């Protein structure tokens, strides 16, 4: 792995910012440098970055289609129409359905919700879902986290007398569905400032707009202090974490306050999942991604995503048991994931000429449809290249794609459109369906496109170093101020520090793969943990190593101690 530095040369502007931020003691210059790297170059911007103002969120009516959407739902409320809330089966989709369901319940609106079966219906709007809506008297469908390419399904619904409002955040096609309203900031003529909202984030903007519309129409608030942002920001923060969208602009504000709610007063559904953790957690973005998210996703991967929604709604008398079922499903998913990863690695080892290829495309008809995306990500950890895994479902091949940093896999798939039945997704993740006979041609075309368009620096993982530190720079104030940069994620990654020529004074190998170290530099010692680094560590000169790491705190037995979380380790040249 290459190390590259993002550090700026210390300048009068950076030094001035550090001086402005100083209190009784100086503000650390390394942190001022990191703020400047991220465009935080004034006192005003720093104050907002450290504690985003809830009042700074954008007016929902800046979003194209918002007026039409809110007026149609107001009409449904006045006329006592039945609404169907339609969502995807991942975290973003299930949180979207949960938030909209709780909101409609608060306002006394007749509704039902629907999430397609991953295996029988596939992603997005399905004809079966529309038939269900028609059979239950639904006259309006609100789709969340899906629908932007469902042109034929929306047209079919219209024939059934059902209107559509689409709330999505995926890339639109050339022709938009004939819906009453489309809320998607990626529409070419949508001027909404934040283009990075999740599907649940778009849903939050819709219910915020609806709250204003309903009150202006004379309907009283469900409670005097009723505020959709305060009520539901924890669900949206969960979607932001698990959909891996940039944590900037409005997303940073939502994530900041949503995490605060998750830590202090989470919704009952999220709390039910939190109680499953056997260890104490900070409940930061990482904990949402690696603990809460997989348990929600496991429902849609191995069974029905409606089970996850039932937990998130937090209304069931058997909530704890339902949450435990998600936990058990996630354990089963991990077992399947491990077996499939081994099979995929064996296929790669047997594939002639793989070393010269720019992409990984594999197919196994026995693979579990709900896990292929996870395994694709696993393969990228081992073989760093754009990856698509396919399995067989309902007479077709369904695939899940994952990309490497900086490479737009959606754009690459657009150039393979002739070989696909349908596809959709983002810059870094996508799904597609192809006819079995087209697999060889698709694989060849995708490899060709990636080979021609991928840039040299996208072929090798890079670890970006924010600042070179000596252990003498690390103290309680530095750690405390560093935490103000949280929440971390895309566009605001957790800072990575490097320290050169470190001495190892003690170490242990844990479970054959992990490291626990005591490191010394400048006469100061810190404990460190390095996951999956034991093999790389063995054989290195322990008297002088270069380390790259996150700075954290280990809370144990009532004590808080600085702990370095090693990202990479190298021999000193």
Q: Angle between the 293-302 and 319-350 helix axes, to the nearest 10 degrees?
A: 80
Same domain for 550 and 522? yes
- Mean pLDDT score, 125-141: 97
326 pLDDT higher than 90: no
Task: Please give the Cα distance from 521 to 546 (Å, whole number).
Answer: 11
Query: Which residue segment(s) compose the domain that 543 sits in?
Result: 2-9+462-571
Q: What is the pLDDT of residue 372?
A: 93
330 pLDDT higher than 90: no
Same domain for 223 and 103? yes
Q: What is the pLDDT of residue 102?
A: 97
135 pLDDT higher than 80: yes
Question: CA 124 from chain center: how many Å?
Answer: 18
Same domain for 522 and 428? no
Q: What is the pLDDT of residue 400?
A: 93
- Mean pLDDT score, 370-377: 90
Q: Take residue 83 and report the two structure tokens written for it.
A: 């609404």
Q: What is the pLDDT of residue 119?
A: 76
Same domain for 313 and 218? yes
- The string of pLDDT tens digits covering residues 475-518 is 989 999 999 999 998 889 999 999 999 999 999 999 989 999 99
For residue 318, with 0-12 CB atoms within 10 Å meaning exposed, 13-18 middle and 19 or more buried, which class applies?
Answer: exposed
53 domain-assigned: no
Task: Please give the Cα distance from 25 to 321 (Å, whole number).
Answer: 51
Q: Which of 414, 431, 458 is the last residue of a domain?
A: 458
556 pLDDT higher than 80: no
Residue 72's CATH number: 3.90.1640.30
Looking at the structure of the chain, the number of domains it has is: 3
| 90-99, 126-135, 154-163, 322-331: segment of lowest average pLDDT | 322-331
48 domain-assigned: no
Q: What is the pLDDT of residue 429?
A: 86
Q: What is the pLDDT of residue 379?
A: 95
Task: Please give the Cα distance from 40 to 38 (Å, whole number).
Answer: 6
The percentage of residues in the chain with a pLDDT greater than 90, rounded to a whole number, is 77
329 domain-assigned: no
DSSP secondary structure letters along 238-279? HHHHHHT----HHHHHHHHHHHHHHHHS--HHHHHHHTT-SS
Nearest to 38 by CA among 394, 327, 466, 430: 466
Same domain for 530 and 517? yes
Same domain for 133 and 93? yes
Q: What is the pLDDT of residue 554?
A: 82
- Mean pLDDT score, 531-546: 91
Q: What is the pLDDT of residue 24?
A: 83
Q: What is the pLDDT of residue 105?
A: 97
Q: What is the pLDDT of residue 177?
A: 96
Q: What is the pLDDT of residue 318?
A: 77
509 domain-assigned: yes
Q: What is the pLDDT of residue 48?
A: 92
Same domain for 299 and 176? yes
Give 297's pLDDT tier (boundaries 50, 70, 90). Answer: confident
Q: Which of 426, 458, 490 is the last residue of a domain?
A: 458
- Mean pLDDT score, 21-47: 93
Q: What is the pLDDT of residue 123?
A: 79
Same domain for 219 and 170? yes
316 pLDDT higher than 90: no
**Dihedral sign computed on CA atoms, order 246, 249, 251, 256:** positive
Residue 402's CATH number: 3.10.310.30
Residues in contact with 401: Cβ distance below 8 Å, sequence separation at least 6, in sequence order: 376, 386, 387, 388, 409, 413, 425, 429, 430, 431, 432
Residue 508's CATH number: 2.40.50.460
Q: What is the pLDDT of residue 258?
A: 97
29 domain-assigned: no
Same domain for 271 and 150? yes
Q: What is the pLDDT of residue 527?
A: 94
Q: What is the DSSP letter of 133?
A: H
Same domain for 114 and 72? yes
Same domain for 474 and 446? no
24 domain-assigned: no
Query: Which helix (H) or strand (E) is 403 found in, with range?
Result: none
Q: What is the pLDDT of residue 179?
A: 97
Residue 243 and residue 296 in contact, taking contact as beta carbons nearer than 8 Å: no
Q: What is the pLDDT of residue 3?
A: 93
Give 405's pLDDT tier (boundaries 50, 70, 90). Answer: confident
315 domain-assigned: yes
- 258 to 62, 266, 533: CA distances (angstroms): 23, 9, 33
**Dihedral sign computed on CA atoms, order 121, 125, 128, 129:** positive
Q: Which of 413, 429, 458 is the last residue of a domain?
A: 458
Same domain for 348 and 312? no
Q: What is the pLDDT of residue 551?
A: 95
Higher-confidence residue of 238 and 557: namely 238
Assign 460 to helix, strand or coil. Answer: coil
44 domain-assigned: no
How does the average pLDDT of the chain come out, rounded?
93
Residue 106 and residue 77 in contact, taking contact as beta carbons nearer than 8 Å: no
Give 65's pLDDT tier (boundaries 50, 70, 90). Answer: very high
- The string of pLDDT tens digits covering residues 144-202 is 999 999 999 999 999 999 999 999 999 898 899 999 999 999 998 999 999 999 999 99
Q: What is the pLDDT of residue 425?
A: 79
């Amino acid at each position: 792995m290459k190390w590259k530095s993002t550090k700026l040369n210390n300048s009068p502007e950076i030094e001035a910012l550090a001086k402005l931020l100083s209190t009784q003691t100086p503000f650390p210059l390394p942190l001022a440098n990191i703020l400047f790297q991220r465009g935080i170059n004034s006192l005003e911007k720093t104050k907002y970055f450290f504690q985003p103002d809830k009042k700074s969120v954008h007016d929902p009516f800046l979003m194209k289609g918002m007026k039409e959407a809110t007026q149609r739902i107001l009409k449904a409320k006045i006329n006592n129409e039945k609404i169907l809330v339609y969502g995807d089966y991942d975290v973003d989709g299930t949180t979207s359905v949960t938030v909209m369901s709780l909101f409609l319940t608060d306002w006394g609106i007749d509704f039902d919700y629907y999430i397609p079966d991953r295996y029988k219906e596939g992603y997005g709007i399905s004809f079966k879902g529309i038939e269900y809506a028609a059979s239950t008297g639904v006259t309006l469908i609100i789709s969340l986290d899906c629908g932007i390419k469902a042109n034929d399904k929306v047209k079919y619904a219209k024939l059934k007398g059902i209107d559509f409002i689409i709330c999505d955040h995926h890339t639109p096609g050339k022709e938009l569905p004939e819906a009453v309203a489309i809320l998607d900031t990626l529409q070419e003529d949508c001027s909404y400032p934040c283009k990075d909202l999740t599907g649940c984030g778009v849903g939050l903007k819709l219910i915020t707009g609806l709250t204003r519309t309903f009150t202006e129409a004379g309907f009283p608030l469900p409670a005097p202090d009723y505020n959709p942002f305060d009520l539901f920001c924890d669900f949206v923060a969960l979607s932001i974490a698990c959909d891996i969208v940039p944590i900037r602009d409005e997303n940073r504000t939502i994530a900041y306050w949503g995490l605060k709610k998750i830590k202090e007063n989470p919704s009952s559904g999220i709390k039910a999942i939190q109680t499953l953790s056997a260890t104490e957690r900070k409940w930061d973005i990482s904990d949402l991604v690696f603990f809460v998210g997989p348990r929600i996703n496991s429902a849609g991967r191995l069974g029905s995503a409606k089970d996850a929604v039932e937990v998130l709604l937090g209304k069931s008398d058997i909530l704890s048991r339902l949450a435990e079922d998600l936990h058990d499903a996630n354990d089963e998913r991990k077992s399947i994931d491990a077996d499939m990863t081994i099979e995929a690695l064996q296929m790669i080892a047997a594939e002639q000429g793989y070393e010269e290829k720019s992409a990984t495309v594999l197919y196994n008809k026995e693979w579990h449809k709900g896990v292929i995306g996870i395994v694709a990500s696993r393969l990228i950890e081992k073989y760093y290249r754009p990856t698509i895994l396919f399995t067989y479902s309902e007479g077709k091949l369904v695939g899940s794609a994952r990309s490497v940093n900086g490479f737009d896999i959606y754009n690459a798939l657009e150039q393979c459109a002739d070989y696909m039945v349908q596809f959709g997704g983002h810059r870094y993740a996508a799904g597609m369906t192809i006819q079995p006979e087209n697999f060889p041609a698709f694989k060849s075309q995708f490899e060709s496109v990636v080979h021609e368009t991928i840039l040299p620096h996208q072929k090798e993982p890079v670890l970006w170093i924010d600042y070179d530190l000596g252990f003498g720079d690390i103290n309680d104030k530095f750690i405390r101020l560093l935490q103000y940069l949280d929440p971390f994620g895309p566009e605001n990654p957790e800072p990575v520090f490097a320290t050169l020529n470190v001495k190892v004074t003690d170490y242990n190998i844990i479970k054959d793969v992990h490291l626990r170290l005591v490191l010394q530099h400048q006469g100061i010692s810190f404990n460190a943990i390095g996951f999956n680094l034991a093999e790389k560590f063995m054989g290195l000169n322990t008297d002088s190593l270069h380390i790259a790491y996150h700075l954290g705190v280990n809370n144990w037995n009532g004590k808080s101690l600085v702990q370095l979380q090693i990202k990479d380790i190298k021999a000193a040249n």
